[in-house]
């Protein structure tokens, strides 16, 4: 029987990994530029109205899809950023906050049975199963769901610093396996241990790194 | 009722913060700068039409246009294809024998503002223009530099 051994990382190994990561980021940035150039999306007087309508439809779809658990919505935001560059970042930020708060509000105020039924009607089976799984749990256990696999101590700390846990969970890469940003905010709303105002302030800060970077560093694509 | 109030408060906070964030983060692009001077409604260019050819510095687009002066007002035939700007009042001033004109055309159906500044020497004209679109989520501007010359009224299209 072969046992996988995990060797401790050496300094050259760490440096190599950092270089590989930076290389991947540079490659991805270059790819986005290529896509943008290929799309040749120039805003001219003759197409401005169509571009405006497309952005509005995209923004509404982005808010709606991002608010739903297990439904990919972030890709629309990334596509808008790739197509229109940093100029569209403020709108994406506002839409992301709106989507997160929409999910939270639905979780907080819609009866849990109605929510499950709504998801089943919409054929969102995984989202309905998630809500059904959450329904019988206590408030703390609902929050603990966001930290599945973590120790009791970690869960206890997370309950104490629940807003920090929420911010981390929303930003965590791979959070789609627990429902994505929309699913996390819906569970947070369902848990009943987050006040709307504090949850709102947490979301405003948690989803702000990219627009703040644009604002303060003047980043341009 | 309390729940409805809470939902309304969340919605108000979201929209309010969104509006504030957009107004802070959206960088406005000013319209074309028009130098100070003794601008006046002289109607000095009435009856003249210029055919102009221009380029958009940041794009590959080429502009071909006719600008018409009539009854103290101005119209760009090309701009009319994209929005019915109608006729806009124009002002002139003369500096060292060069007639300067400026006008601002505002689209009534969409948030477009087009500002013109032209310098006319004899039958030739040099023009700078900005077409600025101010949507609630961003501002987009197209800058155009064009040159042209006067054409007889009989040649005016449309």
pLDDT digits (tens, 9 = 90+) for A182-193: 888 988 888 888
Selected residue of B76, B112, B137 to mutate for chain A interface (largest A Cβ count, 10 A): B137
Which bin fits A70, alpha (ψ -120 to 50), beta or left (φ > 0)? left
Selected residue of A85, A90, A107 to mutate for chain B interface (largest B Cβ count, 10 A): A90
Burial of B18 (C-beta count, 10 Å sphere; 0-12/13-18/19+): buried
CB distance from A6 to chain B under 8 Å? no
Q: Are B66 and B86 in contact (CB under 8 A)?
A: no
CB distance from B2 to chain A under 8 Å? no
Distances (CA, A) of A45 to A50, A172, B11, B61: 10, 41, 34, 11
Tell me the pLDDT tens digit for each residue of B25-55: 777 899 999 999 999 999 999 999 999 999 8
CB distance from A105 to chain B under 8 Å? yes
CB distance from B23 to chain A under 8 Å? no
Q: Under 8 Å CB-to-CB from B119, ≥6 apart: which residues?
A: B98, B99, B100, B125, B126, B127
Which residue from A52, A98, A211 is facing B135, i.e. has the nearest CB? A52
Q: ipTM of this predicted complex?
A: 0.78
What is the Cα–Cα distance from A63 to A103, expressed in whole angstroms? 10
pLDDT tier at B12, thresholds 50, 70, 90: confident
| CB interface of B with A, residues 26-85, below 8 Å | 26, 59, 61, 79, 81-83
| Token couple for A81 | 């950023």
Dihedral over Cα of A25, A80, A214, A205: its sign: negative
Tell me the pLDDT tens digit for each residue of A23-39: 887 777 677 667 666 66
What is the Cα–Cα distance from A200 to A205, expressed in whole angstroms? 9
The residue of chain B with its CA nearest to that of A43 is B140
Q: What is Dmax (Cα atoms) for chain A?
A: 69
Burial of A106 (C-beta count, 10 Å sphere; 0-12/13-18/19+): buried
CB contact under 8 A, B10 and A200: yes
- Å between A101 CA and nearest CA of chain B: 8
Tell me the pLDDT tens digit for each residue of B76-108: 999 999 999 999 999 999 999 999 999 999 999
CB contact under 8 A, A45 and B13: no
The residue of chain A with its CA nearest to that of B10 is A196
Which residue from A88, A89, A204 is facing B17, i.e. has the nearest CB? A204
Percent of chain A with pLDDT over 70: 80
CB contact under 8 A, B138 and A87: yes
pLDDT by position in tens, chain A (length 221): 344 445 667 888 888 888 887 888 777 767 766 766 666 667 888 888 889 998 999 899 999 989 988 877 777 777 787 778 778 888 988 999 999 999 999 988 888 888 788 778 777 788 788 778 877 887 777 767 766 666 667 767 777 788 998 888 888 877 777 778 888 898 888 888 888 999 999 999 988 876 666 555 655 44
CB distance from A109 to chain B under 8 Å? yes
| CB interface of A with B, residues 64-93, below 8 Å | 87-91, 93
């Amino acid at each position: 029987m072969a046992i996988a051994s995990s060797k401790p990382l050496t300094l050259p190994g760490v440096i190599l990994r950092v270089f590989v990561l930076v290389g991947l980021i540079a490659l991805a940035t270059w790819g986005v530029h290529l896509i943008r150039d290929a799309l040749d999306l120039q805003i001219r007087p003759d197409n401005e109205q169509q571009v405006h309508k497309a952005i509005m439809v995209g923004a509404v779809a982005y808010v709606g899809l991002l608010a739903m658990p297990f439904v990919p919505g972030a890709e629309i935001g990334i596509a808008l950023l790739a197509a229109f560059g940093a100029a569209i970042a403020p709108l994406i930020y506002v839409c992301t906050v709106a989507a997160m708060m929409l999910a939270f509000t639905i979780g907080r105020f819609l009866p849990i049975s109605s929510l499950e039924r709504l998801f089943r009607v919409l054929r969102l089976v995984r989202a309905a199963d998630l809500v059904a799984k959450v329904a019988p749990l206590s408030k703390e256990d609902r929050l603990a769901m966001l930290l599945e696999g973590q120790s009791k101590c970690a869960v206890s700390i997370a309950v104490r610093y629940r807003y920090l846990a929420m911010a981390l969970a929303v930003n965590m890469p791979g959070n789609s396996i627990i429902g994505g940003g929309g699913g996390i905010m819906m569970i947070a709303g369902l848990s009943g241990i987050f006040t709307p105002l504090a949850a709102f302030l947490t979301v405003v800060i948690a989803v702000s790194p990219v627009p703040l970077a644009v604002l303060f560093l003047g980043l341009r694509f | 009722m309390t729940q409805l109030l809470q939902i309304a408060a969340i919605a108000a906070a979201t929209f309010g913060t969104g509006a504030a964030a957009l107004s802070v983060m959206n960088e406005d692009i000013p319209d074309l700068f028009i130098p100070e001077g003794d601008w006046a409604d002289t109607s000095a260019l009435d009856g003249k039409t210029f055919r102009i050819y221009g380029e958009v510095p940041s794009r590959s687009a080429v502009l071909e246009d006719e600008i018409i002066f009539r009854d103290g007002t101005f119209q760009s035939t090309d701009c009319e294809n994209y929005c019915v700007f109608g006729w806009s009042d124009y002002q002139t001033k003369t500096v060292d024998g060069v007639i300067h004109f400026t006008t601002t055309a505002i689209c009534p159906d969409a948030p477009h503002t087009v500002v013109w500044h032209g310098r006319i020497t004899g039958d030739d004209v040099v023009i700078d223009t900005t077409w600025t679109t101010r949507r609630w989520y961003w501002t987009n501007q197209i800058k155009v530099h064009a040159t042209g010359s006067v054409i007889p009224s009989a040649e005016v299209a449309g």
